Amino acid sequence: MDLIIGGAYQGKLDYAKEKYGLTDSDIFECSDKRDIEFKACVHHLERFTLYCVKNNLNAVDIFALWEKKWKDCVLICEDISCGVVPIDPEMREWREA
């Protein structure tokens, strides 16, 4: 498992495609509206944590269960921990998830 994390619009996905030889069909784009599909690369992992917050799920517990499935996976996550603290309680919980 390799984790690529960084700020928005920093070229994380392009870097992963080049480094690991990924194609568009190898990449799953996370959404805050559905569960994860397992592919060679999971992009926008932070959106899945928002899905967990919205559905009252514990992202840490879910990630622990998926550790073996993600053994050979590239995970890409945007750093959402910096900047202005959101006023919305759900968004604050997401930031801390």
pLDDT digits (tens, 9 = 90+) for 9-53: 999 999 999 999 999 999 999 887 777 778 999 999 999 888 888
Coil, helix or strand for 76? strand
| Six-digit token string for 25 | 């069909």
pLDDT higher than threshold 90 for residue 61: yes
The reported pLDDT for the residue numbered 23 is 97
CATH number at residue 92: 3.40.50.300
Q: What percent of the chain has pLDDT over 90?
A: 46
Q: Does the predicted TM-score (pTM) go above 0.75?
A: yes
Tell me the average pLDDT across 61-87: 86
Which residue range forms the structural domain that includes residue 34?
2-96
- Output phi, psi for 94, to 5 deg: -60, -45
Residue with tokens 């690991």: 20
pLDDT above 70 coverage of the chain, percent:
99
pLDDT of residue 93: 80
Domain count of the chain?
A: 1
The mean-pLDDT minimum among 23-27, 57-61, 73-77, 85-89 falls in: 85-89
Quick check: 45 and 76 in contact, CB under 8 A? yes
